[in-house]
Structure 1
Amino acid sequence: MVLLAALAGGAGGEAGKQVWAGLSALVRRPFQRTDGVPAVSSGEAELAALEQAPDPEHAGALSTALAVRAALDSQFRTGLQQWHEQARVVRTGDGEVTSTISGGTFHAPVLQGRDFSGISFPTASPPPHPASGTGTTASDD
């Protein structure tokens, strides 16, 4: 539910928008249910409500509608599972970050944050360690 509310609220940047568009397209597909099944929501009304007010209550209603529809429509269930796999890669601000630096001496930038990928920072080589008493000395002979 947190993911649905976050995506509806615009979290995840461009990737989040694409994942939300994928869910919208999936929900708007015709409902393939068998005869004799009581009328249930396709999820469109809940999706629209969540778009208008991205909060946990509307996210819960959409989540329930998606689960019921997936239970009744095998094609939808397959599509929803595929969508969920795509949505898992979008970070929406939930989770936590723990940064620990210990031991050693550092001579380069240190980044602390979350979800870094595909970045690099060219740095100079670290300075040489000072000699520890094993250097040469000049003598007066």
Structure 2
Amino acid sequence: MDPVSVTLLAALASGAAGEAGRQAWTGLGALVRRPFRRGDGTDRLPAVSSGEAELAALQHDPADPVRAQALSTALAVRAALDAEFQAGLQQWHEQAKLVRTGDGETRNEISGGTFNSPVLQGRDFNGVSFGNPTTPPHGT
């Protein structure tokens, strides 16, 4: 499983993406609070974090990249030790990646000047080619 993106965790902790982001963050909290289970069937708990402390720390200071990295690491370690948690985290991660958090956000601004060509504004264009117009613009 890929590690959970530090940027995604920080964005969700800060309240990005509105209600969808809040629900994703709440879902991660519920997942982290599940009892820690070892994959070998023993009741012995490992000496690693469940992720709860890191989750709370990031929620307290979502702009701190060190806290986001600590949570990402705690989730990865727990997933490696707890197969049930790994399955839940994988499912959560696939859904959370669909939440628009502003990660990779693009801002487009045009001001001043005269423009004689079409302007495309957006993000992640594929298969677009730009050529010279076949006719001059009106008024030229």
How high is the TM-score relative to the length of structure 1? 0.67
- Pick from 26, 37, 43: which aligns with 2:51? 43
**1:73 matches 2:78:** no
- The AA in structure 2 aligned to 1:5 is A
- Pick from 11, 15, 20: which aligns with 1:15? 20
Query: Could you tell me how far 1:112 is from its partner in structure 2?
Result: 4.2
Distance 1:112 1:14 in 2: 26
- 1:83/1:53 Cα in 2 relative to 1: closer, same or farther (>3 Å)? same
Q: Which portions of structure 1, spanning 4 or more consecutive aligned residues, are displaced by more than 6 angstroms?
A: none
SS in 1 for 2:35: coil
Higher relative contact order (CA 8 A, sep 6+): 2
CA RMSD of aligned residues (A): 2.4
Higher mean displacement: 88-97 or 76-85:
88-97
Distance 2:88 2:59 in 1: 21
How high is the TM-score relative to the length of structure 2? 0.68
Distance 1:11 1:96 in 2: 12
SS in 1 for 2:67: helix
Distance 2:92 2:82 in 1: 15
| Larger Rg computed on CA atoms | 1
Q: Kindly, what percent of the aligned residue pairs are identical? A: 72
Unaligned runs of 5+ in 1: 100-104, 115-141
Distance 2:70 2:79 in 1: 14
Unaligned runs of 5+ in 2: 1-5, 109-116, 124-140
Q: Is the 8 A contact 2:12 2:101 kept in 1?
A: yes
Higher mean displacement: 26-35 or 82-91:
26-35
User: Where does residue 29 of structure 1 map in the other structure?
Assistant: 34
- The AA in structure 2 aligned to 1:64 is T
Query: Could you tell me how far 1:111 is from its partner in structure 2?
Result: 8.6
Distance 1:3 1:46 in 2: 15
Q: How many residues in Structure 1 have an aligned counterpart in Structure 2?
A: 107
Q: Is the 8 A contact 2:49 2:78 kept in 1?
A: yes
